[in-house]
Amino acid sequence: MDKEMRKKVIIGVSIVSLASVILALNVQSKSPETSGTQKAVISNSSEKQTINNSSVTLDENIRRRVSYIQGYSLGQRLAKDFRDRGALSSDLMEEMLITGIRHGLENKEIKEFSDEQARASIVLFWEQVQQRDIESSTETLKVANNYLADVSKKKDIIKSADGVFYERIKEGDKAVKSYSELSPELQSKSSFILRYRLLNRDNVVIEQVGGDRVAVLSADDLLPGLLAALQTVKPGEAGRVYLSPEQAFGAKRLNEFLGPNDVAIYEVELIDLKDMKK
């Protein structure tokens, strides 16, 4: 199993564990008895404690609301986790999901399959999702290539020797050296201080560092395509970098907004180049 798949398995198991923790923290309450007492069972990994004859009666409407909020939050987290890894929330079987939640609330022992079978099922599930994601990205690659062909026809587009497209938005300080103009020694010591936004073809912002925040990145921290575009950029300059799938994330899915074999777009403002090893 490769490193990426192991990571997915660990995260998948973590999500299951997270669900168990959230559900274990929920208080399972029965309807008030004629005496007005309330009974609740709180479960953890080692024991069950029963609270009897409490003078506190939980408000029915609040219980409804909290139960819904917990379920809604869990559903959102599961859906996002699935989308980020190329799966669909519909890949989950709703009936089995609800049954699992109910059994978790009841702290019921799972007898249908062993822990080893559970882990194997998670591994196989994500392997199949990954394969489906890669196969379906063939069409995405065609769309990405057509998109970049249109970008290449834009006025004032600069194409680097590495085939990266760069569109200048704001001029920088021409009196200051760019990264490519520094000596190899200074390049090895210098870091890029910048603000940036990562977008997809639909201009959805996936990641950003802006405002009062800046990113301080060495050449090794940057995607090769992004570094190629920033080679000749002067401090103070801002522009758009269009990366092909090969120059960006290749056949790997970044998240639900940037899948395999797609274009990555960086809006970058280079604040300065700094010798970080002084």
Confidence band for 21, pLDDT divided at 50, 70 and 90? very low
SS (H, E, C) 243-266: ECCCCCCCCCCCECCECCCCCEEE
Q: Calculate mean pLDDT across residues 173-194.
A: 92
pLDDT at 5 over 70: no
- Per-residue pLDDT of 218-273, as tens digits, reads 999 999 999 999 999 999 999 999 999 999 999 888 888 999 999 999 999 999 99
Reported as type and span, the H/E element at residue 169 is strand 165-170
pLDDT confidence of residue 54 = 72
- Residue 237 near residue 172 (C-beta atoms within 8 A): yes
- Per-residue pLDDT of 105-143, as tens digits, reads 898 988 888 999 999 999 999 999 988 888 888 899 999
pLDDT confidence of residue 142 = 94
Q: Calculate mean pLDDT across residues 85-98.
A: 88
- Residue 21 near residue 77 (C-beta atoms within 8 A): no
- Residue 251 near residue 245 (C-beta atoms within 8 A): yes
- Residue 239 near residue 160 (C-beta atoms within 8 A): no
Helix axes 115-152, 3-25, angle to 10 degrees: 120
Buried/exposed code over 42-62 (b: 16+ C-beta within 10 A; e: otherwise): ebeeeeeeeeeeeeeeeeeee
**Hey, what are 17's tokens?**
């564990």
Cβ-count burial of 26 within 10 angstroms (0-12 exposed, 13-18 middle, 19+ buried)? middle
Domain chopping of the chain, boundaries: 3-112, 138-275
Confidence band for 276, pLDDT divided at 50, 70 and 90? low
pLDDT confidence of residue 45 = 44
- Residue 272 near residue 235 (C-beta atoms within 8 A): yes
Q: Calculate mean pLDDT across residues 19-28.
A: 39
| Residues contacting 184, CB < 8 A, separation 6+ | none
pLDDT confidence of residue 51 = 58
How far is residue 19 CA from its own chain's centroid?
A: 18
| Residues contacting 62, CB < 8 A, separation 6+ | none
pLDDT at 57 over 90: no
pLDDT confidence of residue 85 = 86
pLDDT confidence of residue 60 = 93
Cα(23)–Cα(70) distance, integer angstroms: 8
Helix axes 3-25, 60-84, angle to 10 degrees: 180
- Residue 200 near residue 206 (C-beta atoms within 8 A): yes
- Residue 115 near residue 229 (C-beta atoms within 8 A): no
pLDDT confidence of residue 171 = 93
Spatial CA neighbour of 204 closest among 247, 254, 250: 254
- Residue 223 near residue 207 (C-beta atoms within 8 A): no
Cα(227)–Cα(172) distance, integer angstroms: 17
User: Residue 59: phi, psi to the nearest 5?
Assistant: -65, 130
pLDDT confidence of residue 52 = 60
Q: Other CB atoms closer than 10 Å to residue 15's CB: what's the count? A: 16
Is CATH 3.10.50.40 what the domain over 138-275 is classified as, yes or no?
yes
Confidence band for 40, pLDDT divided at 50, 70 and 90? very low
Q: Calculate mean pLDDT across residues 199-213.
A: 94
pTM above 0.75, yes or no: no
Q: Calculate mean pLDDT across residues 192-199.
A: 96
